[in-house]
Amino acid sequence: MKILSIDPLAVPDVKVITFGRFRDHRGYFTETCRKSDLFGPSATDFLAGLEFLQCNESFSRPGVVRGLHFQWNPHMGKLVRTIAGRMIDLALDIRKGSPTHGKIVACDMPASADDDCGRWIWVPAGFAHGNFFSEPTTIEYFCTGEYSPGCEAGIRPTAEDIDWSLCDAALKAEFDKAAADGSGMSEKDRAGLTLAAWGADDRSKEFIHGRC
């Protein structure tokens, strides 16, 4: 795996891992994941002690908004990439005591066969995760925990008490347009909690800064 760079976002625990592709006139080859590079003694020390237990693939149509999802018992970190199309990934800090608690970051992650590199975004446990899409898009994500349906919750992406101040204004405008009428969201996501409602829930103690 040819890791080119690792770049933190405005909430530094969320990171983008850029990896190279080997191109010629026929197309390209790339290693999207190699254990010794991601979990070895390297710049990816934030993945130390973790392993991926589940891999998911999702297809979304233009205007779809997903999230913001999280789970505990077990906690779940996600390594996410766009296979084809354009995903704007979202990560909301729900860790109590975190200096960025309640703040959300967005990362524009288009993908094309003509690109010289690919990118993963790492969303660790303690963040509510979601995304939205401006074109037909396929994504893949590796999870550090297996799905636990009795231990999951979600914050509504349009909740008024989410702090978007760290987001690029153009991406926030795209989100507002996609989410305007709610038609691109599932019924479950439209019924998600506000940040304040989740914070008042006793289960929110599962997410403490420095512990998850």
Active site residue 25: no
| pTM score | 0.95
- Distance, CA of 183 to CA of 65 (rounded, Å): 9
Q: Is the pLDDT assigned to residue 73 strictly greater than 90?
A: yes
Catalytic residue of the set 75, 101, 129, 141 = 141
Burial environment of residue 129 by CB neighbours within 10 A (0 to 12, 13 to 18, 19 or more): buried
Distance CA 62, CA 87 (A): 10
The whole-number pLDDT of residue 41 equals: 74
pLDDT of residue 106: 98
Res 24 pLDDT > 90: yes
H helix and E strand count, the chain: 4, 12
Q: Percent of the chain having pLDDT more than 90?
A: 94
The three state secondary structure string of 66-89 is: EEEEEECCCCCCEEEEEEEEEEEE
Give the end-to-end CA distance of the chain in Å, rounded to a whole number.
Answer: 27
Q: Which among 69, 75, 101, 129 is annotated as catalytic?
A: 69
The helix (run of H) or strand (run of E) holding residue 12 is none
User: pLDDT tens-digit profile of 163-188?
Assistant: 999 999 999 999 999 999 999 999 99
CA–CA–CA angle 122, 124, 128 (5° rounding): 105
What pLDDT shows up at residue 15? 98
For the question of residue 69 being annotated catalytic, the response is yes
For residue 198, what is the enclosing H or E element? helix 195-200
Maximum distance among all Cα pairs of the chain, rounded to whole angstroms: 57
Looking at 43-52, 118-127, 148-157, 192-201, which range is the least confident one? 43-52
Average pLDDT of the chain is 96
pLDDT value of residue 212: 84
pLDDT in tens, 26-65: 999 999 999 999 987 778 899 988 999 999 999 999 999 9
Q: Which of 19, 32, 33, 26 is nearest to 116 (CA)?
A: 19
Q: Tell me, what's the pLDDT at 42?
A: 76
Please tell us whether the domain made up of 3-203 is placed in CATH 2.60.120.10: yes
The number of residues in the chain equals: 212
Report the DSSP beta bridge partners of residue 69.
129, 154
